[in-house]
């Protein structure tokens, strides 16, 4: 399978992705826990059907020490007992933020209040930004049908 566009060899795409990567670096360096960041990236990527991002972030999370059980249960986090209340709140916010088109009201007040119980303003800012950035990456990769499966942890720096 070949991608519709060469995201890694096109100078125009490279310029665009450089800016998204810069935003991603700000989020990565934020006070939002790295584990939470990976869980959110995985869940949004699953919802959006982005194989490339799901492959990347599950491998990065495993490489960072995430357990196989938790990785396997991200898609079913509501029924899983392996996530903290804070992680569950982040996953709910990520789902609602990813599925904005499915819900006329967007993110519910209840989901926001629950996340605000577990995260301070800087962390919430990072969480909202993370949902926006991973959704942008997902949409790019899904639209160009970026193949998945060959990612190696740390491949992009």
Helix 34-48 to helix 51-63 angle (10° resolution) is: 160
Residue 103: its pLDDT value, please? 74
Q: Is residue 9 part of a domain?
A: no
Q: What is the CATH number of the domain that holds 72?
A: 1.20.1290.10
Q: What is the mean pLDDT of the chain?
A: 95
Q: Is residue 3 part of a domain?
A: no
Question: d(Cα 13, Cα 142) in Å, to the nearest integer?
Answer: 15
Cβ contact 44:131 at 8 Å: yes
Q: How many domains does the chain have?
A: 1
Quote the domain boundaries for residue 105.
Answer: 16-143
Q: Is residue 157 part of a domain?
A: no
pLDDT tens-digit profile of 71-98?
999 999 999 999 999 999 999 999 999 9
Within the chain, which residues score under 50 in pLDDT? Answer: none
Q: Is residue 8 part of a domain?
A: no
Q: Is residue 10 part of a domain?
A: no
Q: Is residue 82 part of a domain?
A: yes
């Amino acid at each position: 399978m070949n991608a519709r566009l060469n995201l890694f060899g096109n100078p125009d795409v490279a310029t665009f992705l450089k800016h998204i990567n810069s935003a991603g670096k700000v989020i990565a360096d934020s006070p939002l826990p790295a584990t939470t960041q990976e869980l959110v990236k995985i869940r949004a990527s699953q919802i959006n059907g982005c194989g490339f991002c799901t492959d990347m972030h599950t491998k990065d999370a495993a490489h960072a020490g995430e357990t196989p059980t938790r990785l396997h249960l991200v898609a079913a986090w509501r029924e899983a007992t392996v996530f903290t209340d804070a992680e569950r709140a982040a996953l709910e916010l990520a789902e609602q933020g990813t599925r904005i088109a499915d819900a006329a009201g967007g993110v519910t007040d209840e989901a926001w209040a629950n996340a605000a119980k577990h995260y301070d303003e800087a962390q919430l800012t990072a969480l909202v930004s993370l949902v926006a950035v991973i959704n942008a990456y997902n949409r790019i990769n899904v639209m160009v049908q970026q193949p998945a499966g060959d990612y190696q942890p740390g491949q992009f720096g």
